[in-house]
């Protein structure tokens, strides 16, 4: 029978460049790990400096302060008699590496850099000076303790087809650790869990994964999901686990071993509980939308030290979904306070500027920190006004109704005064240019007013602070460019900017069922519309899908093929003639694909000004990080479209020949 060891993993809410806060959270996790009897503690990727530092990694300050934090950890009694595995950047031979620094009792055992190529192994002494220690093993090695052997992976090395744990397992490594900075994407969690379990399903062993949690200052939300798997089964996603250790051997090229005069087990391990497999419960996409963006908003709000949010609420699906996410955030805050979370309570009190306040009712808390604003024009319907008002009442937001016509007429009046010309909507005989310009003026006026009210609404209520403006354009509209540059979708942050219209509709239905927000039923049944063109007999004449020339369902397919499948116009056409063969002819598919790429390329420049949005879909067109493509295209796509036309001709000729044969 093997010995039992207790190892600890954690999910830390680190913040880029917050060295004081990051150090405090690391110390806290080590303290908890030791209190549970752990002899090894694993932390998330780059936990010392924070994962989202971006170009700050190139600054010498980031390296300096990371080593200063490491020194604090090394000299502290809190890290005594436990192997600590922390993440930080390290400069080695004038090259910066994303590293794991593993130490025990003031001595660094190994600096293990992130590996990008399977065979690019290196193992040498690095002259990194910490206290009296002059040299440190640097490279791809494993730790050999008195009772077992540990090997390390970093984040996406688990996702690679030739993951290091494969060879390490064959070389006798029994415990695999992964320090991760894995961000949340809808429907991604189950893949991560399956990868961790499969790592030890064949050859046995223990896999420990730590992950970043929360918003660390960027568009990403890290969803935690720290977990431990034993012999292919998840045994916990709490802090610690006890596991029996087995032995293995192989004939592979042996890994360099750093011998450690330390054991993860103790002589008296009878009282250590054995681990049992548990059933992992995955959230549905609707639950993920309800929880992930809400937690992201909370981190952003408390860390920006603002007093709440302001949202232009139109009465449509997108802005209503954004409002529901804020309401979910309020619900989660009240639940955390009820469960005794002192940190959340302290943050809530700072936000509302009341040291005695206790958030108990989500609607009451929502009214304190959330302002919604319906900005009517002569083109707005009473239906959307009523829907926005009713939703605001049900979630409890402080709601404002205002009319923008005076401001719009003033701006258009200035243009007319200068040029002597007055633009008209197309329904009144105006050109398409006039029609679009008049729509854009309304949208941009709304943005200006949103920021004005965000700065001064609390002032008018006798309350301190300002509000963050929330955007509400979805990922599909951004991909198509169906938004005005610098309009009311422009904001400080956007919680739905990475979510498709289809998923938002499902999320709205989820909110109806789980939050009893009955006002959402009429919002769900109404056709999406910008309400920027004149009403006809008091009724809407403008709808989003008619304006775009494509449906939201089609947009989601275009987005996945363009980004995830890496399809250009011709490749997309070839794939869609098969996918849509039951509903479209090749010529119709060609027309749809051409229209999409024309509109995408014409409007691609808008992606450079997108409001920072929660990243939830891998086909996000966000120009900042997730979609590194040009924003100035030849919008005729002449060569690509000729290839499509040629293929359509061949298919139609083949189809025609087939019909002739059938007649004969």
Divide the 664 residues of the chain into consecutive groups of 10 and give the mean pLDDT of each group: 80 91 95 93 94 83 91 96 96 90 96 65 48 80 92 87 85 91 83 85 88 87 88 67 38 79 77 69 90 95 96 94 98 97 96 96 97 94 93 97 96 96 92 93 94 96 96 90 85 94 94 95 84 69 83 92 90 94 94 94 88 86 77 85 93 74 46
Q: What residues does 137 pair with on adjacent strands? A: 125
Q: What residues does 149 pair with on adjacent strands? A: 144
Catalytic residue among 29, 314, 320, 328: 314
Catalytic residue among 45, 167, 288, 477: 45
Q: Which residues contact 534 (CB under 8 A, 6 or more apart)?
A: 378, 379, 425, 427, 428, 541
Give residue 557's pLDDT.
94
Q: Give CA–CA dist 234/647, Å, rounded.
A: 50
Residue 314: which of 507, 85, 523, 559 has the closest Cα? 523
CA 260 to chain centre: 39
Let me know if 114 is a catalytic residue: yes
Q: Give CA–CA dist 103/133, Å, rounded.
A: 12
Give residue 460's pLDDT.
96
Give pTM, 2 decimals: 0.82
Give residue 33's pLDDT.
94
Q: What is the rounded (10 degree) CA torsion for 234, 328, 44, 67?
A: -170
Q: In what order do the strands lie in the sheet with 95-104?
A: 123-126, 136-139, 107-113, 95-104, 83-92, 40-42, 4-9, 240-244
DSSP string, 464-524: -S--EEBP---HHHHHHT-S-TTSTT--SBBTTTTS-HHHHHHHHHHHHHHH--TTHHHHH
Decide: 619 and 564 in contact? Cβ < 8 Å: yes
Give residue 41's pLDDT.
96
Decide: 151 and 164 in contact? Cβ < 8 Å: yes
Give residue 282's pLDDT.
80
Catalytic residue among 10, 49, 149, 155: 155
Residue 37: which of 241, 305, 291, 216 has the closest Cα? 241
Decide: 612 and 219 in contact? Cβ < 8 Å: yes
DSSP 8-state symbol, 54? G
Let me know if 45 is a catalytic residue: yes
Catalytic residue among 34, 114, 594, 606: 114
Residues in the chain: 664
Let me know if 146 is a catalytic residue: no
User: What is the chain's percent helix, strand, coil content, to nearest 5?
Assistant: 45, 20, 40
Let me know if 355 is a catalytic residue: no
Give residue 118's pLDDT.
31
């Amino acid at each position: 029978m093997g010995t039992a060891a207790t190892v600890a993993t954690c999910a830390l809410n680190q913040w880029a460049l917050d060295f004081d806060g990051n150090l405090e959270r690391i110390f806290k996790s080590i303290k908890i790990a030791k209190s549970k009897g752990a002899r090894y503690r694993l932390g998330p990727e780059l936990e010392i400096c924070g994962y989202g530092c971006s170009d700050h990694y190139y600054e010498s300050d980031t390296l300096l302060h990371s080593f200063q934090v490491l020194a604090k950890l090394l000299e502290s009694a809190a890290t005594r008699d436990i192997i600590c595995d922390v993440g930080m950047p390290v400069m080695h031979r004038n090259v910066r590496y994303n590293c794991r620094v593993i130490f025990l009792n003031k001595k660094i055992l190994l600096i293990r850099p992130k590996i990008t190529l399977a065979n690019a192994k290196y193992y040498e002494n690095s002259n990194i000076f910490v206290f009296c220690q002059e040299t440190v093993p640097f490279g791809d090695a494993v730790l050999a303790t008195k009772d077992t052997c540990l090997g390390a992976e970093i984040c996406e090395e688990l996702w690679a087809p030739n993951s290091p744990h494969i060879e390490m397992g064959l070389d006798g490594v029994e415990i695999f650790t992964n320090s991760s900075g894995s961000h949340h994407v809808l429907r991604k969690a189950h893949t991560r869990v399956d990868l961790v379990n499969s790592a030890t399903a064949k050859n046995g062993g223990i896999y420990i994964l730590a992950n970043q949690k929360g918003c660390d200052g960027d568009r990403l939300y890290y969803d935690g999901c720290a977990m431990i798997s034993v012999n292919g089964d998840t045994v916990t996603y709490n802090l610690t686990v006890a596991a029996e250790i087995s032995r293995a051997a192989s004939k592979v090229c042996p890994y360099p071993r750093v011998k450690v005069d330390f054991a993860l087990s103790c002589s008296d391990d009878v009282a250590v509980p054995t681990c049992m497999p548990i059933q992992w419960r995955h959230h549905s996409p609707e639950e993920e939308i309800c929880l992930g963006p809400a937690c992201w908003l909370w981190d952003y709000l408390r860390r920006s030290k603002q007093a709440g949010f302001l949202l232009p609420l139109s009465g449509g699906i997108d802005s209503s979904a954004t409002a529901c996410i804020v309401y979910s955030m309020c619900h989660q805050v009240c639940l955390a306070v009820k469960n005794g979370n002192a940190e959340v309570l302290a943050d809530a009190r700072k936000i509302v500027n009341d040291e005695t306040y206790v958030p108990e009712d989500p609607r009451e808390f929502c009214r304190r920190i959330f302002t919604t604003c319906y900005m009517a024009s002569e083109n707005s319907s009473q239906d959307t006004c009523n829907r926005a008002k009713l939703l605001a009442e049900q979630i409890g937001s402080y709601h404002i109704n205002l009319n923008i016509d005076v401001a719009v007429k003033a701006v258009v009046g200035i243009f007319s005064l200068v040029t002597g010309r007055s633009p008209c909507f197309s329904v009144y005989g105006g050109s398409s240019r006039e029609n679009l310009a008049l729509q854009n003026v309304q949208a941009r006026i709304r943005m200006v007013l949103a920021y004005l009210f965000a700065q001064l609404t609390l002032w008018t209520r006798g309350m301190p602070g300002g509000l963050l403006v929330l955007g509400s354009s979805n990922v599909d509209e951004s991909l198509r460019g169906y938004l005005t540059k610098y309009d009311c979708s422009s904001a400080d942050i956007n919680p739905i900017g990475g979510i498709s219209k289809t998923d938002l509709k499902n999320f709205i239905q989820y909110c109806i069922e789980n939050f009893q927000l009955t006002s959402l039923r009429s919002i769900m049944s109404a056709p999406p519309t910008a309400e920027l063109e004149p009403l006809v007999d008091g009724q809407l004449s403008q709808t989003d899908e008619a304006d775009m020339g494509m449906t939201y369902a089609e947009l989601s397919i275009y987005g996945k093929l363009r980004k995830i499948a890496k399809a250009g116009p011709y490749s997309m056409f070839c794939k869609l003639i098969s996918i849509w063969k039951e509903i479209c002819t090749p010529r119709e598919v060609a027309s749809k694909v051409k229209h999409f790429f024309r509109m995408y390329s014409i409007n691609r420049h808008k992606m450079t000004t997108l409001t920072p949005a929660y990243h939830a879909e891998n086909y996000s067109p966000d120009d900042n990080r997730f979609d590194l493509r040009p924003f100035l295209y030849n919008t005729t796509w002449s060569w690509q479209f000729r290839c499509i036309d040629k293929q359509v001709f061949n298919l139609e000729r083949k189809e025609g020949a087939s019909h002739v044969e059938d007649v004969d």
